[in-house]
Chains A and B, each alone.
Chain A
């Protein structure tokens, strides 16, 4: 089993393995097998298209957590120039689960904030698997306020399993830290564009997720609780995570239909990790266009529209 491929991608993995094998053979022998390779590649592409055309919510959530999925720093590297990371909350510590700093996109100065997961075990631990602690939210808050003061548009990248459920986080007021960010972001006088790039896990995600535009990469997820968590509470069994994923409607497609997000950023065939450069280019174009659109609004117009949008969330009857 190829670990770079998810369960449901195994048929693709097998084809890819065959292609690799043929390539290897091709180098050794005189036989011309390029035609055969081409045929198999075409087959692999069609197969991928077929599989990806009807992904279940659970499969999407696996893609959103794919170990090779690009993280915030990957997008920073591909989309921005002159990035300078800013550290610390000025009160307690620097939380590596959230990164942030100043940068330029196509020459324009911006502030960037995002959750950051680790690639290898050591980095995963250092970044606490992308689960922020209060000092992470407070660092983000500091950078948001700085963005406002220096009139830098704020671009956030959301990718977290959720807030860190730990003793230390509770001791330092996790709830207050998240609440404060929601409070401040709702009236921050600078354009805010939020992009869910992987996992949008609950309060930990929302804490950098209130803005003028909220969009999701095609195979990212956004949810009030993880499918596993929801299953163990409502179904009393974590095995029902697939059902929970479906019921919670965590995919970009579903959330767009429900008008909870403003847009979907199309991913390369097979997911963002199959072609990071292409993914980054698509996202960059989108961000530039949105920055243009938002730049024409006065701060008052911006805040008014943002508030109206926030107030529109939720359905109820009111006779």
Chain B
């Protein structure tokens, strides 16, 4: 408590942000419209604000669970786990960052792959976990993605990927850059096998993930207002020394510039993707 606060009589003292009387996590506030929202309702609404339709970030596993039919489901590549071969250390050891991220997210790394069905259409779906080191792509993300593609090739399945990533994982240095080549080369095989790849770009999809797997879809779907691009807005601002235009690098901007096919509300993704896949795969209408 600061000296000033001590001077105040107790009854007009207000405690800092953390001291709200509401139990932790019961209520949440929309970053855009500031509406106070009942947490459970937001969850039911797939992390979309019921008031203004702002799409909040969503965990990778939850996303896949919401996207796929309840049955069947099989996880792919969970056995692939990170190692710190470079003994990378910045202000913190990479090893410690990994442990911390694993504790915070309950995931081993930033990509989760499941084989399942979407409205009865068999599919392999993967999603980035942005809370795991910014969804950054290192060797595990690359390998799991390749295993997802391999499963598609093996079983003749389409691939859907929900990306949410700041880009390559710097702590894996050049190995992380090479994951761009690795995931892209795998997608070239998928394309040759004429298996559809639908890339869903969610907030944010930047850097090395954007400049590889995320931009190699047969169909690119952006979630509303998602930040999508190569260089980060701050880097660009510093380089060009001018204020960036309103809506720069947002889904709507990308749609206008011909980079993505469509913008789809998260609550409609399941239906829209199932429909697209059923057409590309010559299945009967859903």
Contact = CB atoms under 8 A, between A and B. Distances in A.
A315 B176 contact: no
Q: Which of A234, A236, A250, A319 has the most CB of B within 10 A?
A: A234
Nearest to A221: B174
Q: Which of A184, A203, A224, A235 has the most CB of B within 10 A?
A: A224
Interface residues on A, range: 35 or more
Q: Which of A202, A235, A244 has the most CB of B within 10 A?
A: A202
B interface SS class: helix
B210 interface: yes
A186 interface: yes
Contacts of B176: 224
Interface in B127-157: 138-140, 142-143, 146
Contact of B180 (A182, A184, A223, A318): A182
Contacts of B211: 163, 174-176, 178-179, 203
Given A170-B230, A173-B257, A179-B211, A311 B185 contact: yes
Contacts of B143: 314, 316, 318
A309 to B, nearest CB: 10
B40 interface: no
A244 to B, nearest CB: 7
B148 to A, nearest CB: 14
B246 interface: no
Q: Which of A178, A183, A244, A248 has the most CB of B within 10 A?
A: A183
B180 A317 contact: no
Interface string A129-172: 00000000000000000000000000000000001011101111
B72 interface: no
A188 B61 CA distance: 36
Contacts of B213: 179
Interface residues of B, number: 65
Contact of B230 (A169, A209, A307, A319): A169
Contact of B173 (A186, A224, A316): A224
Interface string B76-109: 0001111101101111000000000000000000
Given A206-B177, A230-B170, A313 B184 contact: no
Interface of A: 163, 165-167, 169-176, 178-180, 182-184, 186-187, 202-203, 206, 209-210, 222-225, 229-230, 233-236, 243-244, 247-250, 255, 258, 260, 307, 310-311, 313-319
